[in-house]
Copies of this chain bind each other. A is one copy, B any other.
Amino acid sequence: MNTQDLRINGERLWQSLMELAQIGATPKGGVKRLTLTDLDKQGRDLVVSWGRQAGMSVTVDKIGNVFMRRAGRNPGQAPVMSGSHIDTQPTGGKFDGNYGVLAALEVVRTLNDHNIETDAPIEVAFWTNEEGSRFVPVMMGSGVFCGAFTLEHAYAAKDVDGKTVRDELERIGYLGTEEPGQHPIGAYFEAHIEQGPVLEDADKVIGVVPGVLGLSWYDCVVTGMEAHAGPTPMGLRKDALQVATRIMQEVVNIGNRYPPYGRGTVGMVQVFPNSRNVIPGEVKFSIDLRNVSSDLLDTMHQEILAFVDQTSRDSGLQISVDRVSYYPPCPFHPDCVGAVRRATAKLGYSNMEVVSGAGHDAIYTARLAPSGMIFVPCKDGISHNEIEDAKSEHLEAGCNVLLHAMLETAGVVNG
């Protein structure tokens, strides 16, 4: 068979997704399968059994990341890997993470069906605790793998009951022996639902992901003078909220000023004393700025600082703004982005570039190996929610793109 005509089995992919979603299924149609719980063990065991049935060998590392390997013609060549995570949010859906793992498995099953041999080995991976709901930090398995933080740091993390990551890994039988990061990766692809509204809004099937937005988080505090709303004339007020709203609006203006990937969000606000007839004496709020390049994000950073400074001078109120988090933008490797783009074009799917606004394990693999992602639409852009939904034909399309991007990268012996 000419591999150009090769297609995955969309029905099988869907059935596997639905079967895995039974483990931790919620009455509202979602999934609650928190990392390193009994349910996570059941999910892991199921996926591993499927991997073994597909002829793959299984390795587990010390942070519980699982790598399932389909041999290639050149055993010494670093594998072309694909995967994601199978842990979910407390009120999670069926597709977030799970799709990326089972799409990779479906690629292997398809290659098996047609006896396709690749030059490089193919690996299916799932990473421990991507969600971070039970243990922080998020993206723990891939983070330890790429050296973003240490194994000891991850081991010591505790859930609300005081149980540690290390103990729970051991308890469910996924405390492996391989040193994290020692597992070679030639290239990494991750298929994922978009978790945003862009593809659906533009009516496209495939999102080619050029990278992941960087973000800067800030805490801003405006200090005015608390006073009674009745007796205090407008001209004698130091209204912290009135001044804060100017900055809140500018945050959005800055996001709008750097399209298409600029984002400016105020998500959290606290007003003191928060009483109906008292002029607010203090307002604290969060600022979230994102963009696709470090230069743009830095420009946005400078602009908010300058605006706060000017607003403080104009109003005479003290305003502090502190950056509390920074993740640099993560552009994906041109080889991987190109492979996704070429596969999509070859398959004839409608497509567009969609940058990732959320974090994924691919951010961390990108530190060690060329990485790329494939997005498919999700209903109303909703994720981290039991009503998360996606169409079978979109999931199938994304998996076909994954298949051909991996084949191009791995090299096909009889292609």
Contact = CB atoms under 8 A, between A and B. Distances in A.
Contacts of A262: 234
Contact of A230 (B215, B242, B252, B279): B215
Nearest to A255: B234
A256 B234 contact: yes
Interface of A: 194-198, 201, 213, 215, 217, 227-236, 239, 241-242, 245-246, 248-249, 252, 255-256, 259-269, 271, 274-280, 286, 288, 290, 356-359, 381-384
Nearest to A288: B229
20 contacts: A196-B232, A213-B230, A227-B382, A228-B383, A229-B267, A229-B288, A230-B290, A230-B356, A230-B357, A230-B359, A233-B260, A234-B256, A235-B259, A239-B252, A241-B266, A242-B248, A265-B279, A267-B274, A267-B275, A267-B278
Contact of A248 (B230, B245, B263, B290): B245
B269 A229 contact: no
A115 to B, nearest CB: 39
Which 3 residue pairs are nearest across A and B when measured between Cβ atoms?
A: A196-B231, A230-B357, A231-B357
Given A236-B201, A249-B245, A231 B195 contact: yes
Most B-side CB within 10 Å, residue of A229, A245, A280: A229
Given A195-B228, A228-B383, A358-B230, A277 B288 contact: yes
Contact of A268 (B233, B249, B271): B271
Contact of A269 (B234, B241, B246, B278): B241
Given A234-B264, A255-B234, A266-B241, A229 B277 contact: no
Given A252-B242, A268-B271, A229 B279 contact: no
Given A248-B245, A274-B269, A277-B265, A228 B288 contact: no
Nearest to A261: B233
A288 B229 CA distance: 8
A188 to B, nearest CB: 20
